[in-house]
A and B are shown apart, each in its own frame.
Chain A
Amino acid sequence: MFRIVEARTVGLNIRQLTVQAPRIARKQRPGQFIILRVHAMGERIPLTIKSADPAAGTITIVVQAVGKTTSLLNCLETGDSILDVVGPLGHPSEIKNYGTALIVAGSVGTAMALPTAKALKDAGNHVIFIEGARSKDMVIFEDEVRAASHEAYILTDDGSYGEQGLVTKKLSDLVDNGPGAGRKIDFVLAVGPVPMMRAVAHVTAPLGIKTMVSLNSIMVDGTGMCGGCRVLLGNQSKFACVDGPEFDASQVNFEVLMQRNAMYRGQECQSLKAFEEHKQEQLTHQRASLAHKEKQTAPQRAQLDAVRTTSEEKHNA
């Protein structure tokens, strides 16, 4: 049981949840993710950790409603709980002083790229952040983006906010080696929809700029035991959950990733439709079953916490 200590809307269909998860809060590093399961009949889905507060024992995740589970998550409020949260999973981002580091983030990918951007800035990089969104109401965390970078560019597809256009257009302008204002970029991290990451790779690969992408393949366990998340790098198969999620963009077969991510599209639509038709019942059921579980496990948890606190106090003393 993982209690939500704060839930708030940060963009159109995008919510930020801060969740009590002390073990994960202590260990997480930028670029890592969690797997969660909202309720006892739920599926397991991966979500990147945006930030953590080890002292408060909380982690923050950002969820865009795209299917049943994310829609259900986005109905939850402060005080609700999530049944299972496990992590931190995957390798952390490789942080070092590359020189000039450029972050390209699309929509909710902005939340995932923020901790790495911050860490790169702290490591002495000159950080440029390009945030792209479909329209104004999906531009998220602008202040944090500016704080995590030295230069920030906000773009919307429809021009309703910031500059009009795609992130790759801005990227091309910046790295353009032609007679224009070509910049020396030493490192690029792209996080967002697969077509966006592929487009970034197409711009940077010919220029030989080291480019990492954070791959969002379908996962079940997230610990390397099923291979559902496997991605093709050159002709080698890798598991995104344990070998990644970040990979060298020039090696990634994006077509295979897109094809595999479409595997359950039919079932996903069916699930979402059923959820939307019975949203209130599902929410009521979710809350009731979690309250029941809370009551059931409370005594044992209290006992566990007591033992743990004693041994930690002993350790600290």
Chain B
Amino acid sequence: MPDTEPLLANPLPLKERMQIPRVRMPELDAQVRAHSFEEVNQGLAASGAVTEATRCIACAKPSCQLDCPVGVKIKEIVALIYAGDFLAAAAKMREDNALPAITGRVCPQESQCEGGCVIGKKGRPVAIGNLERFIADFERHSGQLGLPAIAPPTGKSIAIVGSGPAGLSAAGDLIQKGHRVCVFEALHELGGVLVYGIPEFRLPKSIVLEEVNNLRRMGVEFETNVVVGKSVTLDELMRVEGYDAIFIATGAGLPVFLGVPGEHLNGVYSANEFLTRTNLMRAYKFPEFDQPIYDCRSRDVIVVGGGNTAMDAVRTARRLGAKSATLVYRRSEAEMPARAEEVKHAREEGIEFRMLTNPAEFLGDEKGWLTGARCVRMELGEPDADGRRRPVPIPGSEFILPADVAIIGVGTTANPLIQSTTPDLATNKRNYIVADPETLRTSKRGVFAGGDIVTGGATVILAMGAGRKAAKAIDEYLKAGTWE
């Protein structure tokens, strides 16, 4: 077992390893970063990473790996970091995870790998996410690349629709198996939610670009500006362009609005639009970049919702110079789906929280510009179908919250573009594509689907897990050649 040797050389007894405190992630000062799109977390130094790796006790049955949706070989990787072979650690990582610099930054590790860490039962878990990020960043800065081996060509080609986390992850696996892989993207930049949704201060776009380029170096082809369903249909991809299989990974990109009066007023945005303008189109650099965004400077901004999208939007508004940036959420803080780290960061940056509050109407002036939201206070009632306590309006509790900009971040749903031009692709009543949970096969021969377009909005890493599963299923289908 060559991979575990370096860790066996760890001179510290278990007890002492467990007493080492978790290495702190350096971060930008809250006062500075509230006005800057620079990355908040600054990353570990090499010495810090090695110290952190020393904390791992190399469990016989590493539960951290079981809790990682893509099954990264964490134990072996941590051992390689301890041994100082960071590039080997990166190569090992890429066998299971095509985007380590990204997942190390955006995964909710507390409920995944780090949630399963044995050390975490006594103290703070090993900072697996920070280590993952460290080796990916180290590799990038070194200019060397720990790319995994590629199998000989199989002569089969696969079209992947959508370049978000699910599509990229599937591409990374399928190219290793020797297939030809082309990823089609509707937008002009690759990465899906990683480029239009997650802001620069959490995930620098240069890092997404670099991970995409790594896939390119492994042989993955990309075509941007193609809206599958409009520019080309699934049938044409298979019949005319000769693809043997298709993986649909188009995500759940259709914004949900509240459906309350006044939502058409100027100043009311979906979080998708607000974030697309700032992230993908760099509107925060207007007029250097051409795409405008409503000038938030010295204005009151409210963001509706409690997930990571809402958190990203409200922190972005703050950075665009908002006088006040307030998060309005209909449940209480305990129910917020956003990551604890993001909530903490937001609070440090001066974001205000108005929990148990819901807008009932947006109010505007005579020219159609937003002036505020008529809000109602909520209390938590009986648990609903998902087990979360349902928020119930308190009669007579209405009040007006002044706002010049309101951003709706209450969720997204399936975009029906492909489904509407592919009649033989089964969908459920909410327009999500129906796929077998194990094989990810759809109702259409040779077509697989996974990620948010099947499950509804979830996390980056779950989408990547779906991508890996699809790659395995597609590979098996191409080998066997049978569908039933």
Residue of B224, B266, B273, B417 near A227 (CB, 8 A) is B273
Query: In the bound complex, what is the Cα–Cα distance between A226 and B273 (angstroms)?
Result: 4
Contact mask for chain A residues 194-220; partner B; CB cutoff 8 A; 1 contact, 0 none: 000000000000000000000000001
**Are B186's CB and A227's CB within 8 A?**
no
Query: In the bound complex, what is the Cα–Cα distance between A274 and B186 (angstroms)?
Result: 30
- Chain B residues whose C-beta falls within 8 Å of the C-beta of A224 in the assembled complex: 253-254, 415-417
**Are B230's CB and A237's CB within 8 A?**
no
Query: In the bound complex, what is the Cα–Cα distance between A221 and B241 (angstroms)?
Result: 26
**Are B272's CB and A226's CB within 8 A?**
yes
Contact mask for chain A residues 264-288; partner B; CB cutoff 8 A; 1 contact, 0 none: 1011101100100000000000000
Report which residue of B157, B227, B266 has the largest number of chain A beta carbons within 10 angstroms of its beta carbon.
B227
A55 within 8 A of B: no
Within 8 A of A (CB), among B217-273: 221, 223-227, 230-232, 239-242, 253-255, 257, 263-264, 266-267, 269-270, 272-273
**Are A223's CB and B287's CB within 8 A?**
no
**Are B266's CB and A259's CB within 8 A?**
yes
- Chain A residues whose C-beta falls within 8 Å of the C-beta of B367 in the assembled complex: 259
- Chain B residues whose C-beta falls within 8 Å of the C-beta of A223 in the assembled complex: 186, 227, 230, 253, 415, 417
Contact mask for chain A residues 48-63; partner B; CB cutoff 8 A; 1 contact, 0 none: 0000000000000000
The 16 sampled A-B contact pairs (Cβ below 8 Å) are A23-B226, A42-B290, A84-B225, A86-B186, A87-B227, A89-B227, A220-B291, A225-B253, A225-B272, A226-B273, A237-B257, A237-B263, A267-B286, A270-B287, A271-B292, A314-B242
**Are B188's CB and A37's CB within 8 A?**
yes
Within 8 A of B (CB), among A30-76: 37, 41-44, 68-69
Q: How many chain B residues have a CB neighbour from A under 8 Å? A: 51
Query: In the bound complex, what is the Cα–Cα distance between A93 and B232 (angstroms)?
Result: 19
Q: How many chain A residues have a CB neighbour from B under 8 Å? A: 53
A152 within 8 A of B: no
- Assess A311 versus B295: contact at CB under 8 Å? Given A225-B255, A259-B266: no
| Contact stretch, chosen from B91-99, B113-121, B136-144, B276-284 | B276-284
Residue of A85, A262, A300, A310 near B221 (CB, 8 A) is A300
- Chain B residues whose C-beta falls within 8 Å of the C-beta of A181 in the assembled complex: none
- Chain A residues whose C-beta falls within 8 Å of the C-beta of B231 in the assembled complex: 23-24, 27, 86-88
**Are B221's CB and A315's CB within 8 A?**
no
Residue of B180, B232, B276, B294 near A264 (CB, 8 A) is B294
B187 within 8 A of A: yes
B288 within 8 A of A: yes
**Are A271's CB and B188's CB within 8 A?**
no
**Are B264's CB and A232's CB within 8 A?**
yes
- Chain B residues whose C-beta falls within 8 Å of the C-beta of A303 in the assembled complex: 221
- Chain A residues whose C-beta falls within 8 Å of the C-beta of B266 in the assembled complex: 259-260, 262-263
- Chain B residues whose C-beta falls within 8 Å of the C-beta of A84 in the assembled complex: 188, 224-225
Query: In the bound complex, what is the Cα–Cα distance between A255 and B273 (angstroms)?
Result: 22
Within 8 A of B (CB), among A297-317: 300, 303-304, 307-308, 310-312, 314-315
- Chain B residues whose C-beta falls within 8 Å of the C-beta of A85 in the assembled complex: 225
Query: In the bound complex, what is the Cα–Cα distance between A232 and B225 (angstroms)?
Result: 28
- Chain A residues whose C-beta falls within 8 Å of the C-beta of B337 in the assembled complex: none
B21 within 8 A of A: no
- Chain B residues whose C-beta falls within 8 Å of the C-beta of A255 in the assembled complex: 368
Residue of A230, A270, A274 near B264 (CB, 8 A) is A230
Query: In the bound complex, what is the Cα–Cα distance between A239 and B231 (angstroms)?
Result: 19
- Assess A225 versus B276: contact at CB under 8 Å? Given A237-B257, A237-B263: yes
Query: In the bound complex, what is the Cα–Cα distance between A190 and B188 (angstroms)?
Result: 31
- Chain B residues whose C-beta falls within 8 Å of the C-beta of A86 in the assembled complex: 186-188, 225-227, 231
- Chain B residues whose C-beta falls within 8 Å of the C-beta of A311 in the assembled complex: 240-242
Report which residue of B182, B266, B277, B290 has the largest number of chain A beta carbons within 10 angstroms of its beta carbon.
B290
- Which 10 residue pairs are nearest across A and B when measured between Cβ atoms? A311-B242, A259-B368, A267-B292, A226-B273, A43-B290, A43-B291, A225-B253, A84-B188, A86-B225, A264-B292
A83 within 8 A of B: yes
Distance (whole angstroms) from the CB of A27 to the closest CB of chain B? 6
B289 within 8 A of A: yes
Query: In the bound complex, what is the Cα–Cα distance between A315 and B239 (angstroms)?
Result: 7
Minimum CB distance partner of B226 in chain A: A23
- Chain B residues whose C-beta falls within 8 Å of the C-beta of A37 in the assembled complex: 188
